[in-house]
Amino acid sequence: MNTAAAPTLDDHDHGHHAGPSPGLMRWLVTTNHKDIGTLYLLFSLTMFFIGGAFALVIRAELFQPGLQIVNPHFFNQMTTLHALVMVFGAVMPAFVGLANWLLPMMIGAPDMALPRMNNWSFWIMPFAFTLLLSTLFTSGGGPAGGWTLYPPLVLQTGDAFPFVILAVHMLGVSSIMGAINVIATILNLRAPGMTLMKMPLFVWTWLITAFLLIAVMPVLAGAVTMLLTDKYFGTSFFNAGGGGDPVLFQHVFWFFGHPEVYIMILPAFGVISQIIPTFARKPLFGYASMVYATSSIAFLSFIVWAHHMFTVGMPLAGQLFFMYATMLIAVPTGVKVFNWVSTMWRGAMTFETPMLFAIAFVILFTIGGFSGLMLAIAPADFQYQDTYFVVAHFHYVLVPGSVFSLMAAAYYWLPKWTGHMYNEQMGKIHFWLSVVGVNILFFPQHFLGLAGMPRRIPDYALQFTEFNMISTVGAFLFGFSQLLFLYNVIQTIRGGVKATDQVWEGAHGLEWTLPSPPPYHTFTTAPVVK
């Protein structure tokens, strides 16, 4: 075996020349990027179903007015944990899983740059979530102050409070280690000839995302640390009574929170930019402008945070600044959508499941972008803020946005990962049920918000009944459709029609030159990129 690239895995060579360790130990001690990618993906799928179950509790309670199933305090725990689980447990780890599997194969590297750290950053997460979810069983229940953790409300959390903070810290550490690993891999382990501007767009978007993570996860850690000292150590960062200010927390939180939104969508842009050219059989339109657009979105994400806070009573100048800056984001985002449409233009398209999800992504994410633009308009935001219009907006961006991109990615690369083709028929049924379900679920929420329904309420006035019923029906349709996906994935892992190396007729890139499934160690000899 030629090990030209092997020693670059600096402080370790563990398991490198050998195959995987036998049995369960393989997963516990693995430093192999494919194993860790698999762990991340399976973990996030589990979290997706747990967070989804919480969502169904919420939707079931909201099926009709009155309190039927849960009490308001438990309802608030459900909304809080649904968000925390979906953001930190489902979406973010899923993209890290994709990064682990794909970045080395896309840039011709033998593994991630820091394999041992990779193992740690995964294994922190199950502990963090066990901790977080176990708070449901503490006296006073789990966190119920919303995932945004606004004080003073969050300080009314019971025994769960320190555990929630600790869990957030652990997730932060895990994300930061993951991000450092991604950056080190991309900057240091590219195959000869793989210049930055030749990297697949998924690699580019992850590079930018990783920088966002490093920049903002520590800020979140700082914010929750201050919450902790305010509650237990008598500081008054956010307590007006001691000279602090609860609004300051919101500023710190959203300084993290807005880039966080892009952390969950930029890799999705990358995925879509890989898939559309494959099935359009035409190179991506405007590669360079995609890179610049992604970078400018990332930059703008740092200067728009207070658009989440138009109602806190900012001075006029502040409101104007954050309104204009937020509106500007529409420009690079528009560029991306135009580029995808132009990639399809005069291609020779086929519509396998990944492409269907990618097309649905472009349309439905754009709808979420439109409502985002409406929300940017500060005067109108006073009417939208904290209503179901906002709920509809960010769910359009996150579910048929991020989550659809993850589904698309799973179908797209599953044959490469497992060596088997998934069941296309079932994939298409899953797609259609999902796309119909997700729209029944979230579209009526626009109407609810505009008609005046606040978010995070367990019971509502009678005029909101019909759309809530429709939304709940959509939620159950969408939720249970995902079992098809689970079944399809399991079946594909277990067997099926052999996949070719290229898998898709129009697929280009280094990962498609490898066998399907790729051997445990790949690119131990760096390929040369023309």
Partner 1 sequence: MEIREAVSAGAANRRLVKRLLLITVAMFGFGFAMVPIYDVLCQITGLNGKTGGRQVAAVLPMAVDEARTVTVEFVANLNVGAPWEFAPQVSHMQVHPGQYYQTHYLARNLTGHALVGQAIPSVAPGLAAQHFQKIECFCFNRQVFQPEERREMPVVFRIDPNLPSDVHTITLSYTFFRLDDAGG
Partner 2 sequence: MTTSRIAQAGGIAAGGALLAWSAVAHADFALNMTPGATSVSREIYSLHMLIFWICVVIGVAVFGVMFWSIYHHRKSRGVAPAHFHESTLIEIVWTVVPMLILIAMAVPATKVLIRMADARDAELTIKVTGYQWRWHYQYLNEDVGFFSTLSTSPAQIHNDASKGEHYLLEVDQRMVVPVGKKIRVLTTASDVIHSWWVPALAIKKDAIPGFINESWTLIDKPGVYRGQCAELCGKDHGFMPIVVEAMPEAEFRQWVAKMKASNLNTLTASGGKTL
Span of 98-106, 260-268, 307-315, 484-492 interacting with partner 1 by CB under 8 A: 307-315
Burial of 19 per CB tally in 10 Å (0-12, 13-18, 19+): exposed
424 is catalytic: no
Please, what is the minimum distance in Å from the beta carbon of residue 385 to partner 2?
6
Report 348-367 residues binding partner 1 (CB under 8 A). none
For residue 320, state whether it binds partner 1 (rule: CB under 8 A): no
Residue 349 near residue 281, CB atoms below 8 Å: yes
Q: How many Å is the Cα radius of gyration of the chain? A: 23
Residue closer to partner 2, measured from CB, 27 or 338: 338
Site string for partner 2, 453-482 (x = CB under 8 A): -xxxxxxxxxxxxxx-x-------------
Residue closer to partner 1, measured from CB, 217 or 397: 217
Q: Which of 344, 329, 334, 331 shows the shortest CA–CA distance to 285?
A: 344
111 is catalytic: yes
Residue-level length of the chain:
530
Span of 3-11, 214-222, 264-272, 362-370 interacting with partner 2 by CB under 8 A: 362-370
455 is catalytic: yes
Point out the catalytic residue in the list 205, 273, 434, 481: 273
For residue 248, state whether it binds partner 1 (rule: CB under 8 A): yes
Residue 277 near residue 348, CB atoms below 8 Å: no
Burial of 428 per CB tally in 10 Å (0-12, 13-18, 19+): middle
Residue 319: which H helix or E strand, with range? helix 316-328
Compute the distance between CA of residue 126 and CA of residue 274 in angstroms, rounded to an integer.
30
Among 75, 237, 322, 460, binds partner 1 (CB under 8 A): 237
Compute the distance between CA of residue 356 and CA of residue 427 in angstroms, rounded to an integer.
10
For residue 287, state whether it binds partner 2 (rule: CB under 8 A): yes
Q: Which of 226, 268, 263, 460 shows the shortest CA–CA distance to 357?
A: 268
Report 41-100 residues binding partner 1 (CB under 8 A). none
Report 408-447 residues binding partner 2 (CB under 8 A). 447
- Residue 491: CB partners within 8 Å, gap ≥ 6? 422, 423
Among 45, 149, 223, 272, binds partner 1 (CB under 8 A): 223
Find the DSSP H helices in 189-265.
Answer: 201-232, 246-263
Among 25, 187, 380, 497, binds partner 2 (CB under 8 A): 380
Point out the catalytic residue in the list 34, 59, 82, 430: 82
For residue 180, state whether it binds partner 1 (rule: CB under 8 A): yes
At position 38, the amino acid (one-letter code) is T
Compute the distance between CA of residue 361 and CA of residue 358 in angstroms, rounded to an integer.
5
Span of 93-101, 244-252, 264-272, 430-438 interacting with partner 1 by CB under 8 A: 244-252
Compute the distance between CA of residue 423 and CA of residue 152 in angstroms, rounded to an integer.
51
Report 156-185 residues binding partner 2 (CB under 8 A). 156
For residue 391, state whether it binds partner 1 (rule: CB under 8 A): no
CA distances, 17 to each of 110, 164, 377, 518 (Å)? 11, 41, 57, 16
For residue 512, state whether it binds partner 1 (rule: CB under 8 A): no
Among 323, 397, 399, 441, binds partner 2 (CB under 8 A): 323
The one-character DSSP state at 341 is: H
Q: Which of 369, 356, 473, 443 shows the shortest CA–CA distance to 407?
A: 356
333 is catalytic: yes
Point out the catalytic residue in the list 262, 305, 340, 413: 262
Point out the catalytic residue in the list 333, 371, 418, 471: 333
Residue closer to partner 2, measured from CB, 92 or 293: 293
512 is catalytic: no
Please, what is the minimum distance in Å from the beta carbon of residue 30 to partner 1?
20
For residue 241, state whether it binds partner 1 (rule: CB under 8 A): yes
Span of 2-10, 172-180, 365-373, 403-411 interacting with partner 2 by CB under 8 A: 365-373
Residue closer to partner 1, measured from CB, 245 or 386: 245
At position 304, the amino acid (one-letter code) is V
The one-character DSSP state at 42 is: H
Tokens found for residue 57: 């509790």
Span of 29-37, 178-186, 200-208, 292-300 interacting with partner 1 by CB under 8 A: 178-186
For residue 32, state whether it binds partner 2 (rule: CB under 8 A): no
For residue 183, state whether it binds partner 1 (rule: CB under 8 A): yes
The option from partner 1, partner 2, none interacting with 428 (CB < 5 to 8 A, set by class) reads: none
Compute the distance between CA of residue 516 and CA of residue 511 in angstroms, rounded to an integer.
9
Point out the catalytic residue in the list 14, 116, 198, 455: 455
Compute the distance between CA of residue 147 and CA of residue 87 in angstroms, rounded to an integer.
9
Residues designated as active site = 82, 111, 147, 174-175, 258, 260, 262, 273, 307-308, 333, 336, 455
